[in-house]
Structure formats: C-alpha cells, structure tokens
Structure 1
Amino acid sequence: MYASLGRFAARRRRLVIVATLLFVAFGGLWGSGVFGNVLGGSGFETPAMESVQVERLLDGPLGRYSDDVVVLYESDRLTVDDPAFSTAVRQALSAVPASSYQRMDSYWSTRDAAFVSADRKATYVTLQLKSSVDQERVAQLRAIQDRFHAPGLKVSLGGNTSMTKQVNELAVADLIRAEALSLPLVVLLLIVIFRGVLAGLVPLAIGLAVIPGALAVLRVVSTFADMSTYAVNVVSILGLGLAIDYALLVVTRFREELPGAPSVEEAVARTMAAAGRTVAFSALTVAASFACLLVFPSRFLVSMAWGGVSTVVVAAAVSLTLLPALLRVFGHRLAGRPRPSGRRWYGVARAVMRRPVLSTIGIVAVLLALGAPFLGVNWARPGDWVLPPDAQARHVTEQLAARFTQDPARALTGVVPAGTAPTFVTKFRAIEGVTSARVTGTHGDLARVHVTYAPDPMSRQARTMVETLRGTGARFAGMAASRVDVVDMVLSRMPLMALAVVVVSFVVLFLAFGSVVLPLKAVLLNLLSLTAAFGAIKLVFQDGWLSGVLTFVPVGAVDINFPVLVVGIALGLAMDYEVFLLARIREEWQRTGDPAEAVATGLQHTARVVTGAALLMAVVVAGFLTAQTTLMLMVGVGLTIAVVVDATVVRALLLPATMALLGRWAWWSPRWLSRFAPAPHAAPGSVERRTASTP
C-alpha cells in the first residue's frame, strides 16, 4: 500500500506538488480566519457545573450582577477629590453610550468609598455588559474601549472580558514570535543533521506546508466546535514539529535506499514501504492521544482534541504525498555522504542490557525523584494571572488587591431562597475569608446575594471558603467558585483519560507490532518520561523558580489544564518515538531472531533519527518559552523537558534495559490474537547492509 502510494506520488509528482501548493495557498488565505472565531481566555467551564448553572439562572429575570469590565483610573499627583481628576473621569464615562452596557458603577454614582484607593489617587469603574456570551462581550468592549480615555490620567482596562480580549491578542503574537524564533534554528539543525542544504530544506518545506493546511482544517472544525486560542497555538506549532520529524525519518530512509535501488522511483517506493508505514502508525498514535482529550467536556479541551487530531492528519497526509513527490524531483541530489557506523549507540544499548535490572531501577528512581515535587501541587484555573505583569487586565487586578479595600474580582454571586435570604447572609458573614455579604436583588422566590472575600481566588483558603459557602445550601458563581468546579471536573475525568490512553495505545501498537506486551511497556515508559516535566513545572510555576528568567509572576498554583495538555501531547510524541524505534527493532528481530541483537542494532540505526527528531521538536516547542501568556509558557517548558528526557533517558537507556528484561516475551501475544497481528514486513528490495540513523 505505502509502496504504491510512493510510486503514485513519484509518477504524478507535478500534479501532487501543484495540488499541495493550491491547498497551502487556500489554507493561508482562508484558514487564518480561524483566529477570528476563537474562545480566547474562556471555554474552561461546562454546563453541568454549579457556577455555570448559577450564571444561566442570573441571565433570567433575577438578573446578572457581574463586573465584566473594570476601568482603573490612576494619577501620580491628583486625588479623586481634585476637580481635574473627577471631571476627566466623569466626562469619559459620559461619552460611553448607555445602550452599550447593562450597569455602570463608580464612586460618583454610588458614593461608596470602596471605589477609591487608600491614597485617594486611584479609582475604578465597573461595567456589566449586555451580552452573556463571551465573544459578544469582547466585541461590545472593542466598540467602546477608546471612550474611557481621560486626559492626564493613566487608564487600564481589566475584568474578565478585558482579560479574554487581551489573551486573544497576545496568543496570536506568541505564535508568530515562537515560529519566528524557532524556524531559523530548525533550518540550521536540519542542515547539520543532513550535512547538506537541500536535504535539510526538504523537511522544512514539508513543515511549512502543514501550517496553513492545518489552519484551514481548524477553521472547518471551528464551524461545528468551539476553538480555543490556546488550541490553535499549540496544534499549529505541533503540526510544524511533527511534519519535520516525519520528513526527517523519510528523507533519512530514502538516502539509505537510494544506492541500492535500480531507479529513483523504486527508491521512493522502498522508502515509503518502510518509513511511510512508520509515519502512518506514528500519526495514528499521536492522533489517538489527542482524541483521548474528548473525555473532558470543557470546550477548551474538546477544541484541543479536534485541533490536534486534524493537524496530525494534515501532517501525515503531506508527508505521505508531497514528500515522496519531492524525493522524486530531487533524487540523487539528496544523497548524503557516508555517516559514522553508529557503533556508539550500539555500545550504549549493549552496556545497558548487560545489567538490565540495575539500569532499570536506577533510571526509574531518578525519574521518580525528579517528579516528586509535583506531589505538592496546588491547582488553579486560568484567569488574568496567565497574562504578563505589564498587561492591563493583570495590572488592574494587582492594583485593586494592593490599594483598595474591596476588589471586585474577589466576589461571588449566590442564589438563595428569598424568604430566608437574611439568614443566609448572616451565615455567610460568619465564614472565614468572607469580608461582606448582602442581598442585591430578588425575583419571585429567589434572591441574589453578593459576597466579597479576602483570599486569593486560586488559593487553598479560597477553595475551603467556597466549599463552606456551598455547604449552607446556597449556590454560587464567580472566579473562586469556577476554579473549584473546573479543578474538580478535570480531576474526576483524569482516570477515564488514563484508561482511554491505555486502550488506544494498546490497540495501535498491537496493530503495528503484533505484541500485547509492548503496548503496556510503552505506556509505563511514556508516563515515566513525564515525571521530570511535571516536577519542574511545579517548582517553576508554583514555587517561582526561574520566574525572573522566564519573566512571569508566580501565583502559587499550576493550571489544572496543564497536565491534561502535556499528557495528551507528550504521550503522543513519546509514542511517536516509540514507533520509530520499535519499527526498526522489529525488522532486526524478524531478520535475526536474537532479541538483544535486535535491540542494539535497532538503536544503532534509529538513535540518531530519534535524537534528531526530538531535538528539532524541542527547538520548535521551546519557541513558547518566549510566550507572554503563562499557560503557553507552561506548555513550552513542560513539553521541552518531556521531549528531551524521553528521547535521551527513556528511549536511549530505559527502553533497551526493559527490552532486555522482557527478552522474547516482548513480542508475545496470545494465539487467538495472532491473526490480527501484522505480517512480517520488509521493504521490497531493501538492501541488507544498512547505514546508521535509519528506522
């Protein structure tokens, strides 16, 4: 099948290349529109959450009471009592059309001292916009944001809607910056790896072709599923990395097959018969890992799943069609100079396999020790803390917390029976952490209650407070309540995701290699490869290690979506490298029947490709180390560490050690499953003597 596909692409190379160029052009022009149809900093809640149900109830006759926009006015010398200060603010507010908001509160409309800072040099205004839909509120804010300007005063926009808008804008900038920084390094590494400019540029061309194609598919997906800004960023950069990895694998194999093939076309066919099959199964494993995110009901994670699956499909499709066409076009010009034999990796594998028990115990102990700090993790949900310190929404939150007696962000809205509302308010005021509680409206037999509190919304103290408030029988919405709901939802679904990962990994790897033991071993190794990344994330983002270098402000917590994203993405990449290695080990096992020799020889031929692919992927995802949003920074740090540890420690050392422990049992499957196992495979006409670095 893959040989036939390679021959078709080689013979119809002009058609394939022109069709791909048209698809890329279409994707670049039309697909970029996906950025205008994204969720931004939202999409983490689900309809079943109590906080969401309360919000919907408040959208009815009872009425919402939320501060969608918080406008902060500051002066270095004037106070709110100075006519110049008050006149500038009141004139700015009078320019905002009353039809654009539901409610506007300020110091001058309420005479509430809580709206004025302790030094009286700052004040804030709160607005409740008319729509209850995130994207509509962002559009409403864009229409009036320039009206808040006040001459002589510093004006900053905060609140949930401002945060969503700013996350959208920064996410696009993060993606452009990450690609601009990583692409030159990728080009340099490819030229070094292939020791040739042309051979190095072919994988880059494949990677660049995937990005607009992936955006086009993502825009199609966004028509029937909400798409997150974060999802677009992650899958776009991941599509680039995967495509380059696949091209690296295929071009390396083509260089091996070329000297012994009667023609360039036959070399392409032989290459695709071996490496093409590996690419297909690798893409299947990565797509399956992304699909496991569908067990989570939040729009954010569902969009990540759909975006990831569609991007992997595009990367595989381009690698299996455009790449063989380019191989046929360039032919012998891609041939490389002879490489070293790769005996170093052969020696490493043999050394590890001589003491497999000691090697396995030592490596596992080190990885578990690196992951131990993660046991003390404190979970959070995304909020304005994901923005950089100089972002307006982040600045507003920090100033309100530091300079004002009341922070509108630290508020909950509750719904209680109207007849007993005073009793509930009394109970609320007695709960630790609550600073005020009052009834703000009634309708029928329900009352709306506004509760303010002192703890950080992401702290353990705030979680305890929310649980105590809800323990009275009242229902609540707000950032602290949403944080509890989002964290509980993700944690409750994690076991189901783990089961899904095990099942899909088992099925895909069994179909690829015909063993029931290898899939289970692969899952365990893949999870171990994540431990170092998880431990580092806790130390960096919760405890603040390297916060000065990475230019972020730690909040004492880790986003609950991080482990889900990294498990989904990193496990897919780990399976990617597992398939690369096991595909060649299986070839050697079928050729020699010696399990130890098969592992050593397989590692000898594949280690260079796997380490090269991992290095390229690490460079691509490391572009997010410059991200301004903390969630993308977490993903960049986590994936970079996970990829490097997996390709070096786990694949190069732990894999041969565990394969030595298993011996022939690594390839075992029950007799009744044997009929589903793949037939022994060899590329047609493959040469017996192999050069190094080739799966």
Structure 2
Amino acid sequence: MIELIAGPVMSRLLYRMGRWSAAHGKPVLVAWVVVVVLLGVLSRAVGGHVTDQFELPGAESQVAADLLEERFPAVGRSSTMVVVAADDLRAHAGEVSALAAGLDGVAGVVSVGDPRRGMAPSGTVLQFPVRFDKPAEQVEVETWDRVLAVVDAARSPALQVELGGEVANEMARTGPAGTSELIGVAVAVVVLILVFGSFLAMGLTLLTALIGVGVSLATILLVAAAINVPTTAEILALMLGIAVGIDYALFIMSRHRENLVAGMDVPESIGRSLATAGGAVVFAGSTVVIAMLGLIVVGTPSITTMALAVAFAVIVAVVVALTLLPALLGLAGRRLAAPTLPGLRNRRPRARDENLGTRWTTWVARRPWLSFGMALVAMLVMAVPLLDLETAFPSAGSAPEETTHRRAHDLITEGFGPGFNGPLLMVVDHSGLPAADASAAVSDIGSVVRADPNVGFIVPGASNPAGNTTLMQAIPLTGPADAATKDLLERMRGEILPAVESSYGIEVYVTGPTALDIDVTKQLTDRLPWVMTVVIGLIFVVLMLAFRSLLVPLKAAVGILLSIGAALGIVVAVFQWGWGASLLGVDGTMPIISFLPVMSFAILFGLSMDYEVFILSRVREEWLRTGDARDSVIKGVGATARVITAAAAIMTAVFAGFLLGDQPVVKMIGLALAVAVLLDATVIRLILVPSTMVMFNRANWWLPAWLDRILPNVDIEGEQLLDESEATG
C-alpha cells in the first residue's frame, strides 16, 4: 500500500512538531512576535495600497485603455468629477469659477475642465473633471485632503458641491478595520468561553487567530507595493483569516483539553493533539487552498490575486495553529484542564456518549427519507431567487446615500440622465489615414452609433497631438449596471462599428469603466463552469483518497452546492429583490457583485470541507470499528456535533459582522458566507449527511477493489499512530 505524507508520515511529523514546540514555548512565541512586529513596521514603511481597479488582459476594453494611456497620457491618469448644483447656477458663476481655480492650484492636479461646458439643460446642475498625475489608487491622501478643503470652502446653503468618479470612489472605500469584525470577534469570544469554560483557553485560541491575520494583512500590503491588489482581497483575507484561524485553533485546543482531562501529561497531549486534530487542520486548510487555486482558471489578474491572498491567509492560519498554538499550550501547562467559569465543567466527549447530538441524529436516522425530503425542499426553495441572478460591478449608485460620490451620482442622473454615469468611450485608431478620411470616419462613427435607440447623444471627438487617434463618447440612455447598456455595448462591437472599420481600414475600440466592468463580468460568467469543474474535481479526488469511497465525495459535492445555491438565493432576494434590505442598511435594490458567485463558490467549497472531514472522520472511524453503518453515523455525528456547532457559530458570527460595514459589496460577501456556513453546518451536516448515509447504508464506503489497491493510504486524524502508541504503551 502506498503511503502519502498526509498519512502516518504526516502524523509522526506533526507529533514531533507538537512536542518540540511545547518544549521550546518561549523561543517560538518570541519568534512569532518578532515576525509580526517586523512585518507590521515594513508594511507601514514601504507597503502599498489596495485598489478597486480591475484589469483584464486581452479584452478589448483593456487593449483600448492601454492604447489610451499611450497616446493620451493626460487622459490615462485618474480623475474625479466635480458636480455642482443650485437652483440657478448662472447666479453662482463667480463661485464656480473660483472653485475650479482653487482645484487647479492643488499640487498633484494636472488639469481642470471648464465648468461652463458641463452645464445641464436645466441650468441647475453642472459637472467638470479634475485630473490627477497618478492612478486613483496612488493619489496621495494629502492631495485629496486639499481637494476636499477647496470643495468645502465652496459649499454653501445655496450651492451643493459633490465629488464623484474613480478617485472619489477609491478614497471613499471602507478599509478592513472597523466595528464589523469586532462584532464577529466579540461573538467568537462568547462562544469560545461557553465551549471551553475557560478564559485562558479562549484567549489562547483567539490570540493565535489574530496573530495569523496580522501576518497575512501586513504581507498583503507589502505585495501591494509591487502589484495591484484588489480591496476585496484584503477584506476576504481578513474574513477568512479570523474565521479559519479560530476554527483551526478550536479543533486542536478541544482535542488537547480532552487529553488533559483524561490524565495525559502535557507534552504527550500536545503531540497527540497535533498528530490527530492537527492532521485534520492540515487537510481542511489544504482543501481551502486547492479550492482557491481553482480560481486561477478565470484568467483575470484581480481574481487570481484575491484567490492567492485568501490562500495565503489560510496557509498562515494553519502554520500558526501548528507552531505557535502548541508553544502556548506548553506554556499554559495543566491550567487549561480546569474550567474557570462557575457552572461549567470539563468532560471528554466520546462517540458512545448519549448527548443532544446523538439524540438528534437518532431521530434523523429513524426517519431518513422524511428528513432528507424536508431538508432538500427547504434548500431548493431558498435557492429559487438564484434563477433571477443579475451580476454587475457596483456603481456609485449603490453606495450609502450619505457619501459624496453617491450624491454626485444622483445629481448627474437627475441633471443629465443615468447614462452620464457610465459613458462608453470609443478610441478610434486611424493611424496612416489621411486627415480628410479620418475626419469622415469619425463623422460616420458618430452617425451610426447615434442612430442606436439606446444612445442619447455623442460627445464630439478630440484627437491626440500626433493626430492618429480620436476619442469619442457614446452616452447611453440607461445606467452603467443596466442590462440595456450591456446590450448596447454588444451591438456597438458586433454590429455597428465593424462596418465602419472595414470601410475605412481603421480600428475602433470601446472602453471606459463601464465597458471594462461588463467585460470582466462576462469573463467571470463564462469561466464559472470551468472553475466549478476544476474545484469539484480536485475536492472529489481528495475526499476519495481520505475516505476511500466514491459515494461520500459525490454526496459532499452535492450538499455543498445546495448550501451555496441557497445562500446566493438569499443574497439575490435581499439585494436584487429588496426583501429585508432596509434591515441591513441597504438603500434600494442592486445587481449582485460580478465576482461573488465564482469567489463564494470556491471559498465555501473549501470551508465546507472543515466540517465534512471532521464529521466523516469520526463516522468512518466508527464504521471501521463496528461495521454498523447506521450506528456509526449516530455515534460519529453525535461525537462531533458540539465542536461543529461551536465552529460554525464562530465562523457565521465573523462573517455576519461584516453586514455592519458601510459598503454594499462587503455586506453581500458577509451575507453569502454567513448564510452558507450556517446552512452547511446545520441543514447539510446535521440532516442531509446523516439521512443519506443511513439511506445508502454500506454503499457509502464502497470502492472498487482495483481502485482500492492503487490508491494511497491517507490517515487524516492519525488513528494509525494512536493505535501504535496504545499498542506499545
């Protein structure tokens, strides 16, 4: 039989690692403190900034953006739109001119548009651009503060001034630090105290998670100094880092305290805890990393960076749990065995104990078909709204109403129409064409595009100094996130512009933030089936190796898909349909952020393996011991229900805490992950898994003999090592 490192070799390695860390507790602790402090100092000194800018190499919008930056350097820099509103702007002409002049004098501003050219027909709203010398994510806070000072000085009861555009959006983003994660951590503290009955155990578990998160976030900022790192990557790393950091430490801490209560000495207990629960942590962390690496097939640098950031945060959480935690356990000694809260006592749960978990599983096992049917119907009903899923990147119109970029968005919509918030920029490359022909081509482009029923009007073209490229704007009648705008972009590229291009031998690219967002959304949608195939395939193989079964990984995949579908269905109901949106502080309805389906699928598929492995390891252990399929399910689920419930409560609380954030995107992510984890740990793990395992009986563990002979042996929780220790003990 072939042996993998995840089997006895890994168990022995983890056992020795645990004992070594316990024996060298102080040096290990000092080493981690030095790492955290060093990374923190470096990230503040030379670290970069996360950004909301997406890139899509090879897409027409990205090719055009690169060409634009090359031939129109000033246009290629970032900008913000100044929006001014009053009952009669003609009466405030002097104030508006002074505002423009003041902005033009700000260091870092390279040009300011003429306010007189941006007046709405009503005469109550005008807009003009302010261009900066750096990309939006690199604009200095000091520069933006000076811009705000000029704007604040121009505001009055009769004159409203707001700031929109990419720089305003970038500056308004909510960072990861705030009350959101503090709420989740506070709930985690309560759950850990109830689970352990010990402030010391709670504190050590939480400390390891927070140190891991600190290392991850500091490293991400250092990487951001060299490459573009999306804002969402930082948020996801924080969410997942806290959640899995606490969960992984919880698994190991629970096993260690069981051993201490049973009378085992501290070093041996730590070694065995790492060899058993630590093996499950390595396995669970590996599945999350595998799932995240599956996102690379999307082919979008921003999504790849998000995936790598989350994978790194999970790897750090695993390493901290396997090195720092055992060092802290060794320093704490036997004090962890004693509860510190009145009324709470330690006990060593066993699979054969009668508890709430076993009583519940017994009830499900006696009525497997009824339990299965009710759970399946409930999950499918919750997934129904998913059929109405609409994805897009968020616009300023989905930002909180009190933000300046949201007010700017609303004023532009009111004064000019929704299309002004999402113009389609046409880059006409007429290199080598005589000036007269180039002028005729630009005129024809304007005529054929203006004839489309969803085009309000065309902004006249402006040529670069070399005279080989012209810029034009098509202003849609619909907003940037509207499906009609997407249809217009497709018509322009596929039907309207190709005829003019072939007639004059020129290239016309359609770009701009709206076009890029639509292109990224399309690529994410097109690649989702590939991501699902890769992730499900890899996880299927891993689970087949772990449990030597074909049916177990198949049921696991179906169960996880149900929880993800139900969670996304609830997200659609809240954000698209508006059901209960006001309770979450969401203003109105909006499409779902484009990357949420693919990103949540990978994250949740990986996270769900924590509970799947933890439960099925115990069930399989009982099955191998007794050969009784029904009884092994009851005892295995009963033995793990308490820890699974605690872990799910912590993870759900951490994710739900982000519902208190300001940004709808953060709320969407938090709701999707919180609901999915909650459903997965309850409906899936406590109803669907035991009911289907009872229904399929011995078939759960069937594996063709030829496949059984060639598959390597994977001992997740180190049972073989324990058996050897007990035999020689």
TM-score (norm 1): 0.90
Moved more, 648-657 or 416-425: 416-425
Find the residue that maps to 1:632 and give its secondary structure: helix
**CA drift at 1:51:** 1.4
Report 1:402-413 matches (<5 A): 402-404=414-416, 408-413=420-425
8 Å Cα contact 1:203-1:247 kept in structure 2 = yes
Aligned counterparts of 2:210 and 2:471: Cα–Cα separation in 1 = 53
Contact 1:72 1:396 in 2 (8 A): yes
User: How big is the shift at 1:407?
Assistant: 5.9
- Letter of the aligned partner of 2:89 in structure 1? V
Aligned pair 1:362/2:362, yes or no? no
Q: 1:461 aligns with which of 473, 484, 491?
A: 484
Task: Find the residue that maps to 2:228 and give its secondary structure.
Answer: coil
Superposed CA deviations along residues 111-133 of structure 1, whole A, max 9, x for unmatched, are xxx52473x444322234455x4
Residues 143 and 12 (structure 1), Cα distance of their counterparts in 2 relative to 1, 3 Å cut:
same
C-alpha spacing 1:217/1:662, structure 2 compared with 1 (3 Å): farther
Give yes or no for the alignment of 1:4 onto 2:16.
Answer: yes
Aligned residue number for residue 693 of structure 1: none
Moved more, 313-322 or 407-416: 407-416
The one-character-per-residue Cα deviations of 1:569-604 (angstroms, maximum 9, x if unpaired) are: 222211111111122222222222222222211111
Q: Say yes or no: does 1:451 pair with 2:462.
A: no
Structure 2: gaps (5+ residues): 1-12, 340-344, 431-437, 499-507
Mapping 1:49-68, distance limit 5 Å: 49-61=59-71, 68=79
Equivalent in the alignment of 2:126: 123
State how far apart, in whole Å, the 1-side matches of 2:222 and 2:417 are. 48
Change (3 A) 1:183 1:592: same
Deviation, structure 1 residue 100: 4.8
SS class of match (2:103): coil
Whether the 8 Å contact between 1:389 and 1:552 is mirrored in structure 2 is no
Structure-1 separation of matches of 2:125 and 2:280: 62
CA distance in 2 between counterparts of 1:260 and 1:685 reads 15
Q: Does 1:611 align with 2:622?
A: no
Indicate whether 1:42 and 2:53 are aligned: yes
Write the letter of the residue equivalent to 1:159: G
- Aligned residue identity for 1:349: T
Q: How far did 1:355 drift?
A: 3.6
Q: CA deviation at 1:12?
A: 1.5
Tell me how far apart the structure 1 counterparts of residues 639 and 419 of structure 2 sit (CA, whole Å): 61
In structure 1, give the amino acid aligned to 2:99. A
Question: 440-449 vs 624-633, which deviates more?
Answer: 440-449
Shift of residue 498 of structure 1? 0.6
Q: Which residue of 2 aligns with 1:372?
A: 384
> Which among 150, 153, 169 is matched to residue 154 of structure 2?
150
Q: Which residue of 1 aligns with 2:503?
A: none
Report the equivalent of 1:692: none
The superposition leaves residues 94-120 of structure 1 with CA deviations (integer Å, 9 ceiling, x where unpaired) of: 233478556533333x3xxx52473x4
1: distance between equivalents of 2:420 and 2:162? 15
For 1:594-605, what aligned pairs fall within 5 Å after superposition?
594-605=628-639
Confirm or deny that 1:682 pairs with 2:716.
no
Give the 5 Å matches for 1:645-660. Answer: 645-660=679-694
Q: What are the Cα deviations for residues 35-63 of structure 1, in whole angstroms up to 9, with x where unaligned?
A: x62342222x3022211222222223367
- Where structure 1 has 5 or more consecutive residues not aligned to the other structure, the ranges are 690-695
Q: Which residue of 1 aligns with 2:462?
A: 441
Task: Determine the C-alpha separation between the residues in 2 that align with 1:458 and 1:489.
Answer: 16
Mean CA deviation greater in 55-64 or 313-322? 55-64
Q: CA deviation at 1:257?
A: 1.7
* SS class of match (1:171): coil
Q: Deviations over 1:223-278 (max 9, x none)?
A: 55431122112211321111111111111111222244542211222222211111
C-alpha distance in 1, partners of 2:550/2:441? 61
Q: Deviations over 1:342-370 (max 9, x none)?
A: 53222322332334344323322221111
Matched, 1:80 2:89: yes
CA drift of 1:88 comes to 2.1
Superposed CA deviations along residues 157-189 of structure 1, whole A, max 9, x for unmatched, are 11122212212xx224xx322222222222122
How far has the Cα of 1:490 moved from its partner? 0.3
* 1:214 equivalent among 208, 213, 216: 216
Inter-partner Cα distance in structure 2 for 1:492 and 1:224: 29
Distance of 1:406 and 1:354 partners within structure 2: 59
Aligned residue for 1:47, secondary structure, equals coil
Residue 91 (1) aligns with residue 126 (2): no
| Corresponding residue number in structure 1 for 2:169 | 163
Question: Residues 299-314 of structure 1: matches in 2 within 5 Å?
Answer: 299-314=301-316
Count of matched residue positions in the alignment of Structure 1 and Structure 2: 673
1:606-656, Cα deviation, whole Å (9 max, x unpaired):
011111100001111111011111111101111111111110100111111
Q: Which amino acid aligns with 2:160?
A: K
Name the CA shift for 1:245/1:342 in 2 (closer, same or farther; >3 Å). Answer: farther
Deviations 1:164-218 (A, max 9, x none): 2212xx224xx32222222222212211122222222221122122121212332
Contact 2:51 2:228 in 1 (8 A): no
1:71 aligns with 2:92: no
The one-letter code matched in structure 2 to 1:608 is R
Instruction: Assess, with a 3 A threshold, how the Cα gap between structure 1 residues 248 and 683 changes in structure 2: closer, same or farther.
Output: farther
Please give the alpha-carbon distance, in whole angstroms, between the structure 2 residues aligned to 1:89 and 1:166.
Answer: 24
- Aligned residue in 2 for 1:319: 321
Q: In the alignment, is the contact (CA less than 8 A) between 1:171 and 1:230 conserved in 2?
A: no
Matched position secondary structure for 2:58: coil
In the alignment, the residues of structure 2 paired with residue 240 and residue 576 of structure 1 have an alpha-carbon distance, to the nearest angstrom, of: 15
The residue identity in structure 2 corresponding to 1:279 is: V
Q: Residues 355 and 674 of structure 1: is their aligned pair in 2 closer, same or farther, counting only changes over 3 Å?
A: farther
Residue equivalent to 1:644: 678
**2:243 pairs with 1:235:** no
